[in-house]
Structure 1
């Protein structure tokens, strides 16, 4: 895949999505984080007015055409999406003549944003050019869409889905900073208190957070051979072993020779926060969204620097209640 292949050449988005406006204008509405509004659709909050919106989610349900060999990466925003995309792209494409290390490496991750290499299905339906040439297999896509709102055939075909979640306290803080970087300056910045109030009530892009997690967790328990459920914290604490398990699940296991050569460790290094953030210091992803907006700290437990102890306890109480019996631990 070349850098040009990863470019977002879009239709006239407002004209393309105009056909969907009558579908949601009467839906429940709250003020948005990054966009003006959030709309409730099929039990979840979707943004208005950008590529990952209620309109593109509905358009994906109507128009996106999955293939049985597809691989889908599902997350809520700020749950390690960029990192997961990089890891999966590196695992699946490691035998495509991409050197992982060295100054002459041709690996696309060294000069292309992972969001271009693993596109969102919600963006795919408004692209003028398909991401993958005909016959490319497997196709890699990502989505923030809840499990129950996925395009129907993704589930019917039994496509492999990798879902990664993250401690809601760190998600809240990361989303707060991400939203303020992208908000229209005329609206002013959110305060952490305002963000906490909305998030704890379930009002956030893709939220309620807890319902989004539960949908994929229950599906993974029912069909573990097709849906892999990961936590960001476990991925960070034992990345090499998780990369091995991820490769096994995807159908691209590491050979003994690769293990002895340290290929798993090379992939972990290639996809490290330090390397990805360095590659994406400059340039834009799409429509003026800077590449560097996707990288802040990437740390576990950073919430303690921004939330009060009481805020943390409230979110923990909600999490323990909502996740009871689902074996989800951060």
Structure 2
């Protein structure tokens, strides 16, 4: 059996995934992920941390609300799209209406086996790793279950050495893409949503088999804008901030290219070198700046 690697009092690695240490989460719980009974109608949202999870949660919730208006629930997105790694996941997920949705940061090897066996819909959101790195830096300053990184340089090297929260961004993207023929998976780029949110929502609806009217799609897009999400307590985790789970709001800028405000020239050159070495001939492109 694979062993647990304790990286710090705040994080441990099991297989490829790095988890935040939290009271009650056991190896047995993690093994239990793989035996979760899913239904063919379930939807799985997979992301590396800080790649647009909250944004896609809102989009999925709005699409399902439009497709099943009689099932709209007055609860937060965290409850509508529960976190697989969360301690309350099983109870919340079992009580959800079809189509049920859940989100996760784990690598494919820890996903429920039924995700492949039943070919459930998987939405995978990718974001350019330089902005992911910057967002992780700010996240460590906010979430109380992670140790605050002292400097940006610290998280920079942790990220390149696969020791940042979540594990290896490079392997996460590569492993999910490698599974594309075994899973019913839709890849979507964070930056594409910034450039043409409506177009990406239309593609997502087609993938999910949700035939929405133009008016319904317009509503999904409007509700899923950064401006509206920032003021919507169901979407922005305001309840966790008020419960002192976060030190500051989790939604910052919702932009692409913010890494330019943090990377030194030397860091950028080194990152590009590592990226080229590790991603090789990866067929999907990344957008580093919307002005490029």
Name the TM-score, length of structure 2 as normaliser: 0.85
How far off its partner does 1:92 sit? 2.0
For 1:55 and 1:78, locate their aligned partners in 2 and report how far apart those are by CA, in whole Å. Answer: 26
SS in structure 1 at match of 2:88: coil
Q: For 1:71-122, what per-residue CA distance to the aligned partner results, in whole angstroms no more than 9, with x for missing partners?
A: 1000011100000011111112204337xxxxxxx976xx754222211122
Q: What is the correspondence of 1:1-330 to structure 2 with a 5 Å cutoff?
A: 27-31=4-8, 36-49=9-22, 56-62=29-35, 64-97=36-69, 112-123=75-86, 126-127=88-89, 129-133=91-95, 136-183=97-144, 189-220=149-180, 222-223=181-182, 226-254=184-212, 258-259=213-214, 261=215, 263-280=216-233, 282-284=238-240, 288-290=244-246, 293-330=249-286
How far off its partner does 1:157 sit? 1.3
For 2:258 and 2:23, locate their aligned partners in 1 and report how far apart those are by CA, in whole Å. Answer: 28
Larger radius of gyration: 1
Q: For 1:217-262, what per-residue CA distance to the aligned partner results, in whole angstroms no more than 9, with x for missing partners?
A: 1222x257x11111111121111111000000011133xxx22x4x
Q: Tell me the C-alpha RMSD between the 2 structures.
A: 2.9
Name the TM-score, length of structure 1 as normaliser: 0.76
Alignment gaps of 5+ in structure 1: 1-22, 99-105
1:73–1:142 CA contact under 8 A, matched in 2: yes
Alignment gaps of 5+ in structure 2: 287-292
Q: For 1:124-171, what per-residue CA distance to the aligned partner results, in whole angstroms no more than 9, with x for missing partners?
A: x6357434547x321111111111221212211111100011111101
